[in-house]
Every structure is written in C-alpha cells, then in structure tokens.
Chains A and B, each alone.
Chain A
C-alpha cells in the first residue's frame, strides 16, 4: 500500500474555503484519511483520541493561532511526534523562526498550487 493510502492527516483552518481547498487537494493526491476542523482546541481534543500522522494548520486563526497549536502539540504526550505543516498568508521571518524553534516540520505560503502542497508534505513524510 502506498503511503497515501495509509497516512492520516488533520487540516485545521478557521476558513471553510481554505479547509475545502486543502482537503480537496489531498483528495486529489489520493489521500483518503483526512479530517478537518475549524480551530486549534477542537483539533487538540480530537487528536487525543484519533491520532494522525500529520497536522496541516493555518497560522492566522482566532483564539489559538497555528503556532500556539504547534506548541500544544509538541508538549502533549500523545501528540509530540506528529508532523506539522504551517500554512501562512505571509511567510514572516519571525513567524517562521518561531515555528522552527517549536519544531515545525515545514511551512507553505498561500496561495499555493496543489503540487506545492504535495511537495511540502512529501518533504516531511516522504513520497506519497
């Protein structure tokens, strides 16, 4: 079985359009196990019981931004090993640097093409 058949991914974005775009792209890659949620706290709660291999999260979200989510993931016993890709509208140096320190696996600047997303994911998990 190819990696894409088995990998589980969670998409976190407060904008349903963005969630739709990402999940649509993942679907086009043949990735079937995709969950999505609109905010960090829900993502954390869900990941406790339904672990995934990779979290793809937007940076700019109310209440808990992408890096705050990453921090929570890295300090959570069950989630510290999960892959994390940050989607950001602005690849601000400070944000990326902060992300690197927190153990961000990769980032992707919006807007992106599906192939960019694929390359970004493959850089983290290997060939899909």
Chain B
C-alpha cells in the first residue's frame, strides 16, 4: 500500500501500473514486427513504450532501469530511423530485452537488488547491434537561449492580434450636490451610455444617509458601470459633457473583457487506488455552474485515431477507474453473504406459509433478480482477459526453447477470453510448467527428428482459451511425437507406481503422467525436471475447482486440456436429494429432468444400465450408489433422473431421489486437509444453514468408470502455502 499522504509515492505506484501497460504494448509491438508488420507505427509504438518507461524511471531515480532502457531505446531509435534493420537475430535480442526490461521494472517496483550479470550480456548484444560508436549529439541547456514570453495575466494578448475583442471600461459616475438642481437626470445619462454598447450598471447605495438626515434634492447614489463597447474613452466622456463639473466621473479601460474560462485543477491526491483525471472541460463553463469532473481513462493516453475522433464527437471518453483489489474482494464476499441471506429469507418466508402471490413473495422475487444482477456485475469486475497470462507464456516458450536448443513457435488463440482474476494468477505456475514440458518433452529432440516425421523443423506449441458450457477451457498442445506409452508404462512399473501386471488402456497410461513422483525425462534437464511433476500441476488446477485431461496421438502430438469454473465464488445450482443427503449440481449441466417409466431402462450387463431418451440411449448412473450413500436398487422405475451434458460432449443420466430447488449457491472451498473425494468440487451453505456438497458431474462419471486407477483418493500435496 502506498502512503496516501505522499503524492510522490502515489505517482510512483501509478508509474509501475503504467509500466505494465507499456510492457504489454511493447510485447505486442515486437510480436507484430516478428510477424512481419510493415507498419511504421509498429516500431514507433515499440520505441515509445521503452522511451516512456525510461522517462518515468528517470524521474524516480531508478538508475539501472534508465540505463538499460536508454540503450535499448537507442537501438530501437536506429531501427525507427531506418539506420538499422531488425533482422530476426536482432528481434530475438529485442524480445530478450523486453523480458529483461520487465524484470527490471518488477525488481525496481519491489525494491529488490538488481542482478548485474544478466543485463550486461544484453547491453553487449545491443551495443553489437549499434556497431561502431554511436554518437549521440545532445544539446545542453546552456546551448539554448530561452525565449521569454510577455504575459498578460488576463490573457488578452493571446487573442488581441487574432481577433480584436471589444474593449471594456469601468466607469464610476458620482453625481455632485447640484446635479438635480441644474435639471440633469442621471437616468438619461445612463440610458445614453448604455446605448453605446453593452452596459452592466450597478447602483451603489452606500452613501445614502438615514432617512432623518436625507435631503430630498441632493443626489446620494453613485453608479458603477461596466461598459463593453468598441469606442474610445472620449466618446464615453462625451455622454457626460453637459454634467461636467457637476459630477465625478472615473473612466478606466479595463482591457478585454474575456469571460474567464473555468480551468479544472488536478484533483487533490487523496485516494491512491483510484486515478481520476480531470481534463479541462471543453466548453466554457458558465460562472457558478458546478465544476464538471470527467473521469477519463488514463490509458487513453495513447488514443488511437478513432478514439480521438470519438472525443471530437463529444461522445465522451470511456471511463475507467482503478480500484484496489481488496475492495472488490470485500464486495465479492458481501455478495456471497447476500446470496446466502436471500436464500435464508426465502426459506423463512416459505415456511411462514405465505401465498406465492403475496407482496412479500413478489418482493422476494425482485430481490432475487437484483441479487443475481449484482452478483453478475461484481463478477464482471473481476474478469480479465487471459492475454497477459498468454504473453507471459510466450516468454516461457522463448526462454525454454533457447535452453534446450529447439526452434519453437507459440501460437495463441482466444486471448480475449475473460477469466476470474484469481484464476489467471493461479494459472501462471501450472501453465508455465506445462509449456516447459511441451517444449522440453513434447516436441521432438531435434529438427531433423521432426523433418524425418514429415513435419516442419520448427516445433509448434499452441495455447488456446475458450468458454465452453459455462466453464473456461484452456489447452496446451504440441505437435510433437506424442506420448511414448510403452516407455511411460515401463517407468511407472519400474517405480512401482502401478502393479507389475497392470493392464491399462491408452488413456490410463497417459494419465500416469499425473502420478506423484513420475518423471519421464531420462535425465533431469535444465527445464522441466525440477522435481515438480504434472501431479503438482493437477493439484493446482483442482484447487481452482478445475480438471485437467490429457490426450495424445503417437506422432501427432499431445494436448493438455484444463477446464475451469468461470468464477470461484457463486454458482447457479440445482439442489437435489440423494439418499438422505442434500447435494448441489451446477445448473448449466442439467439438460432436462425425467421420470423413469417401466420400459425406459435397459440393462447392458449387470450393473450397467442405459436409459432411452427420445430414441437414443444414454448411460444411467445411480448417484446414491456412486457416492456410496446406498446400495443399488432393484428397479429404477419411477425414479427421478437428471439428464446432464458432460464436457466431452456426451450425456449421462443420473438417478436421484428428489429435486428441492434451483438457486444460487456460494461456493465454499473444501479444506486441503480433506481427501479429494472424486466428484466433489466444493461445498456450500444452504438457506437453512445446512452444508451441502457441490458435485462436479463430469468428475463423478469419470470416477464411476470401472478400473480407473487415477482417481483413487490420494493425499493432497500442497503446492504452496496460501
């Protein structure tokens, strides 16, 4: 947290936030260059990003950052000015420099010591690009003779030459004792004066004596007139020609009467988390009108042509407010409480036996709708595109491919897919590991191996994100040789991870990779073999309420698919009864509910049933049996069945005992000290205070598939202390 009383600390904090944006723009720009962009603006963007970081860093005295950014910027400037060509080798250096720059930014932000060696190598590489000594001709302040400017503090001279404004006069007219006696009438004079231009006349009554001292024939008033007219002082005096000597007259030219435009100050720095920009209000503000504060997007700092156009049309810039994450977290928690409370209220109203048409029940319905809207809105605040995560992964690919000497290209898809911020943060480690694995183990060892298999020498790692049936699917795939199953099997046996006589299907062998202590690398490589296995990856994903699956085809490659819930907080659930338990099933998987007739169920073999659904057959599972709540029934006739869709696109029918309700439930994570029970994703608190488990249907079905060795409950290994 920054000290809210220290504006510099606040600006410093906002600098580092701005840096993240600049670094992102830098990465994007470099990628565009690498993709062969010919647009001159691309290199400009890249240059400006580095330049701006340098500029800000200088202001905060972050010397190492300035020094590196300066050299980097110098080289980019050469490219920008066509004195240097960005060869693919140069681009490689640029990418590395961008990575190093982002490290330096982070190091400076966290006040950590700067590792010297790393940057030196890159500085040398940059210098090599520059070639012979690069002369930088800079001007010192002494070389420049500042040019004074004549200031008129009423700002008239700014306009005077351009468009002569109407002169303005301040006139004070004080009638003398004898004015009335000589038959002169002030009103006439003032009227004549007003005819010359625009007059603002105020009467000064301050010299009016108390009534008992008032002489009826003596003028007491005086008038102050502000006259705006294109005339000379002499013309004004002319009006008063006949009363000369009978009055006091002061005429002062007060210059151009420019309506003072309101200028809005920067707001005082009080809230460090919210950056509010106050641009000058475009139109002159009428005096006394409330000062208008617009909140504009600080990032609009680099407005595109279209954005500028939009502003011209007075559409108003998009407003963005930066908010401390803690506040959002609090809001998410409060919304969770609200949802629980609403459920409790609904329950008590229901128990009170109110008519569904009563005002209270109608009000409750509205309340539920509002609660849902609030929840959606809050979740939207937390959602972020996975782009930043993917950008980090492109760095991992660059580094890891360099480390193992492979030529690898990263393809990404679905960067705009939005995922809960926490999910994005906690995906970073597992994804890093998976990407390294793909580069190190997934792809063939050499380009020659690839070419022998009829593929291009450059390996491909693909990273995609998409929304699918209410979840986020993130896939990491490589176009390598696929999993060497005989080898995996023999390793698993040699490490006694499975019985020596185990007879496993392909997919079961693939899943052996997730076993703790499994590592296929024959020697610990620089990259992936750091004692962290895919089991840790799987654990991290499961802690996010997600699942990871693996598919592989010999010679074609391997795909790891991560499926995650959209949010970690609230779920639309169907509350069901199974045996005497209350369970919650995510509503989005439920396709329909059926009541089984006598002829609907067919037995394939003992213990395996299918149910006929509109001409097709769907496998039938008894949830109560699967979860160990009760023994199998004689007949399923009359049972209630939920038809659900699974993530692999298949359907399944679940026998349950009853449906209570559809409602939103707040997801409460299960403590790590519990064994991971297959099929159980989390828990929730219902309206009556009862705790119910939330099922993960795909996992339930997977666990029920016979001979599965993978999903036996295993002691959790903690990934990190949270």
A residues neighboring B (CB under 8 Å): 3, 6-8, 10, 13-18, 20-21, 23-24, 27, 32-39, 41-42, 45-46, 49-54, 60-63, 77-83, 89-93, 96, 100, 103-112, 120, 123-126
Contact = CB atoms under 8 A, between A and B. Distances in A.
B155 A39 contact: no
B56 A46 contact: no
A22 B263 CA distance: 17
Given A18-B55, A105-B147, A111-B58, A50 B48 contact: no
Interface string B19-55: 0000000000000000000000000110010011011
B153 interface: yes
B267 to A, nearest CB: 10
A16 B301 contact: yes
Contacts of A81: 149-150, 157-158, 161
B18 A32 contact: no
Given A34-B266, A50-B262, A105-B149, A93 B56 contact: no
A46 to B, nearest CB: 4
Contacts of B158: 51, 53, 78-79, 81-82
Given A81-B149, A89-B54, A60 B48 contact: yes
B257 to A, nearest CB: 14
Given A38-B301, A38-B303, A49-B283, A3 B151 contact: yes
Contacts, number: 193
Contact of A90 (B10, B138, B147, B303): B138
A93 B137 contact: yes
Given A18-B59, A53-B149, 7 more contacts: A14-B302, A39-B308, A52-B263, A83-B149, A109-B141, A110-B55, A112-B59
A20 B55 CA distance: 13
Contacts of B296: 38
B352 interface: no
A39 B280 CA distance: 12
Interface string B449-464: 0000000000000000
Nearest to A111: B58
Given A38-B303, A89-B54, A123-B146, A23 B266 contact: yes
Contacts of B11: 17, 20-21, 24
A6 to B, nearest CB: 4
Contacts of A77: 161-163
Contacts of A54: 149
Interface in B476-522: none
Given A35-B263, A38-B301, A124-B148, A8 B18 contact: no
B311 interface: yes
Nearest to B311: A42
Given A16-B301, A39-B301, A42-B311, A49 B282 contact: yes
Interface residues of B, number: 68
Interface string B123-148: 00000000000001111110110111
A126 B10 CA distance: 31
Contact of B146 (A8, A10, A61, A105): A105
Contacts of B153: 3, 6-7, 53
B162 A78 contact: yes
B7 interface: yes
22 contacts: A16-B301, A18-B52, A18-B55, A18-B59, A20-B14, A24-B7, A24-B8, A36-B279, A42-B308, A53-B149, A60-B48, A62-B44, A77-B163, A81-B149, A81-B161, A83-B151, A89-B51, A89-B73, A92-B138, A93-B137, A107-B144, A110-B59
B159 interface: yes
A45 B58 contact: no
Contacts of A39: 301-303, 308
Nearest to A89: B55
Interface string B57-82: 01101000010000001000000000
A78 B140 CA distance: 31
Interface of B: 7-8, 10-11, 14-15, 18, 44-45, 48, 51-52, 54-56, 58-59, 61, 66, 73, 136-141, 143-144, 146-151, 153, 155, 157-159, 161-163, 258, 261-266, 269, 275, 277, 279-284, 296, 298, 300-303, 305, 308, 311-312
A50 B266 contact: no
Nearest to B8: A24
Contacts of B275: 16
Contacts of A46: 279-280, 282
B91 to A, nearest CB: 22
A120 B312 CA distance: 33
Contact of B263 (A3, A8, A93): A8
A93 B139 contact: yes
A125 B151 contact: yes
Contacts of A6: 153
A14 B149 contact: no
A8 to B, nearest CB: 6
Contacts of B279: 35-38, 42, 46
A51 B159 contact: yes
Contacts of B311: 42
Contacts of A34: 263, 265-266
Nearest to A31: B265
A46 B279 CA distance: 9
A10 B147 CA distance: 18
Contacts of B305: 63
B151 A53 contact: yes
B137 A16 contact: no
Contacts of A13: 301
Instruction: Pick from A10, A17, A93, A108 the residue with the most CB of B within 10 Å.
Output: A17
A38 to B, nearest CB: 4
Nearest to B61: A111
Contact of A111 (B45, B52, B55): B55
B51 A60 contact: yes
A72 B262 CA distance: 23
Contacts of B44: 62
Contact of A78 (B151, B163, B312): B163
A76 to B, nearest CB: 8
Given A96-B144, A105-B147, A10 B280 contact: yes
A80 B59 contact: no
Contacts of B18: 15-17
Contacts of A62: 44-45, 48, 302-303
Contacts of A49: 261, 282-284
B310 to A, nearest CB: 12
Contacts of B15: 17
Nearest to A15: B52
A79 B163 CA distance: 11
A35 B262 CA distance: 10
Contacts of B161: 77, 80-81
Contacts of A125: 148-149, 151
A80 B160 CA distance: 11
Contacts of B143: 96
Contacts of A124: 146-149
Contact of B138 (A27, A60, A93, A126): A93
A50 B296 CA distance: 19
Contacts of B59: 17-18, 21, 110-112
B560 to A, nearest CB: 40
B280 A37 contact: yes
Nearest to A122: B146
B280 A16 contact: no
